Amino acid sequence: MKLVYEISRPGRKAMEIPAGDCPGVDPAAVIEAGLLRDELDLPELSEVDLVRHFINLSRRNFGVDLGFYPLGSCTMKYNPKVNEDIAALEGFTCLHPYAPANFSQGAMRLMYELRAYLSEICGMADFTLQPAAGAHGELTGIMTIKRHFENKGETRSKLLIPDAAHGTNPASGALCGFQIVTVPSNAEGGIDLEHLREAMTEDVAGLMLTNPNTLGLFERNIEQVADIVHGKGGLLYCDGANMNALMGIARPGDLGFDIIQLNLHKTFSTPHGCGGPGSGPLGVKVPLVEFLPVPRIIKTEKSYVWSDEYPKSIGAVRSFFGNFGVMVKAYTYIRSLGAEGLREATEDAVLNANYIKERLKPYFDLPYDRTCMHECVFSGERQVKESGVHTSDIAKRLIDYGYHPPTIYFPLIVPEAIMIEPTETESKQTLDDFCTAMIAIAAEAKENPELVKSAPLSTPVRRLDEVLAARKPDVCWLK
């Protein structure tokens, strides 16, 4: 498709600016000439051209509303429509963050209550809603840990992270000045306790653990893990990206975690918007509450007010209060589902993942054959050995069958990884159809590997040259 710049014709307009009703001003008369711009290179389109351009582009995009999207670790569940409508209410969208608090009492109550709901779900003392995404929550969490030790007058320079962790974990730790120490996984996909004991010294601030981990497996030794970390004065951080496996079943706070970030855009059904906005609230146990970001909402007898009176706070990690529009959707979701609905969501998510695991087990290697939680991780090694078909080929072929591929090549500890997270909002028919497609592709890989390697065949473009894109980067239209 043509670019907007290629459709542009001089003089076309999609939007009129109302005529001025105040005295006219010539910018050159009030601003020094050297500070004014010479040209404004924006495209010129009529409204109908604009609409057709973007709508046609939308037809070249795939979302959950079009079909099954089992992208592991991303929790691509259905995004309820009513949540979108509610977040678009003028009473929410019109609010200026600095308007006097009497304008925004409803919004502040919503945020205050959302903090309480998330605390109850996770077994934490309190939450901050300020972080704008999961990785931002992680960063805020590691800052909180850093401040905790500063406050105690302790210098701890290392942070432990399992080899199966999301890439954001080591990056978040390093951005707070910690030296990252990798802890290997054991044969059953859990954390290696012997190694952990060795690595967990008194200059280690803590362990960042995803539970269930990125293999979709619950860390069975969580009690021992917590004891080892706490025994040396460290803190146990939970990457809550996989919280969809635990809602109403178990609470990270009860499991021994001191701190957790959630991804409202995963567990709490807010849409991912092609990569954002997300929201990454951070929950902590009592001793860490005083370090959370400011400002914080407090409830007085009469109203909700903002407070900066937390002298030990790490400060602010984002302007204003976070991604409020996302919070509205998550709040609505929790109110819709209630305690039983959240538990049911988790149960069905786990049920669906185990069903897929059992159905596909005969056709793909399953490196860790255990009951899984909300996702399961296969390996495409058998296909590589048999016919030279790689996981990336299987993924591309799935597109021809009408599915978004699973997460591939992650976690890094599984070669040719295929990470499938079906979520709870998919029916048995959808799961069966997907499994049928995967089984058909496994057969194609044996019988007609070239077909699989040449996929996708049904998309507007074929496989794209990523090497060229990186070698000769073209990231801006210059014509």
Partner 1 sequence: MSYCPHTEEDRNELLRAIGAAQLEDLFTDIPDRFTLKERLNLPAALSEQEVSVLMAAVASENMVPRMTLLGAGAYNHYIPAVVRHITSRSEFYTAYTPYQAEMSQGILQIIYEYQSMIAKLTGTQVANASMYDGATAMAEAAVLAAKSLGHSRIVVARSVHPEYRRVLSTYAWANGYEVAEVGFTPSGRIDVNALATAVSDNTAACLIQSPNFFGVIEDVAALEPLVHKCGALLVAGFTEATSLGILKPAGEMGADFVVGEGQSFGNPLNFGGPYLGIFAASDKFLRKIPGRLVGMTVDKEGNRGFVLTLQTREQHIRREKATSNICSNEALCALAAAVYLVSVGKNLKTLAVRNLEKARYLKTRLLELPGWEEVFSGPTYNEFVLRCPEAKEVNEKLRKQRIVGGYEMARAYPELGEALLFCATEMLTKDGIDAVVSILK
Chain centroid, CA 165 distance in Å: 14
Q: Shortest approach of partner 1 to residue 236 CB, angstroms? A: 14
**363/410 with CB nearer partner 1:** 410
d(CA 270, CA 278): 8
Find the helix or strand (DSSP H, E) in which 378 lies.
strand 376-379
Q: Shortest approach of partner 1 to residue 328 CB, angstroms? A: 8
d(CA 125, CA 290): 11
Q: Shortest approach of partner 1 to residue 231 CB, angstroms? A: 18
Token pair of 212, please? Answer: 């269930």
Q: Distances in Å between the alpha carbon of 334 and those of 242, 265, 270, 337, 347?
A: 17, 13, 11, 5, 16
Residue partners of 108: CB distance under 8 A and separation at least 6: 101, 297, 304, 305, 306
Q: Shortest approach of partner 1 to residue 144 CB, angstroms? A: 10
**Cβ 217 vs Cβ 373: under 8 Å:** yes
Find the helix or strand (DSSP H, E) in which 432 lies.
helix 428-447
Q: What is the DSSP-derived secondary structure letter of residue 282? A: E
Residue with tokens 């001003």: 25
Residue partners of 96: CB distance under 8 A and separation at least 6: 103
Q: Shortest approach of partner 1 to residue 379 CB, angstroms? A: 19
Half-sphere exposure at residue 423, Cβ-oriented, CA atoms within 13 angstroms: 21
**142/200 with CB nearer partner 1:** 142
**84/192 with CB nearer partner 1:** 84
Q: Shortest approach of partner 1 to residue 342 CB, angstroms? A: 7
**65/386 with CB nearer partner 1:** 65
**194/467 with CB nearer partner 1:** 467
**177/287 with CB nearer partner 1:** 177
Q: Distances in Å between the alpha carbon of 242 and those of 24, 135, 140, 263, 266?
A: 57, 13, 18, 9, 8
**42/194 with CB nearer partner 1:** 42
**290/347 with CB nearer partner 1:** 347
Residue partners of 36: CB distance under 8 A and separation at least 6: 27, 28
Q: Shortest approach of partner 1 to residue 76 CB, angstroms? A: 6
Q: Shortest approach of partner 1 to residue 330 CB, angstroms? A: 12
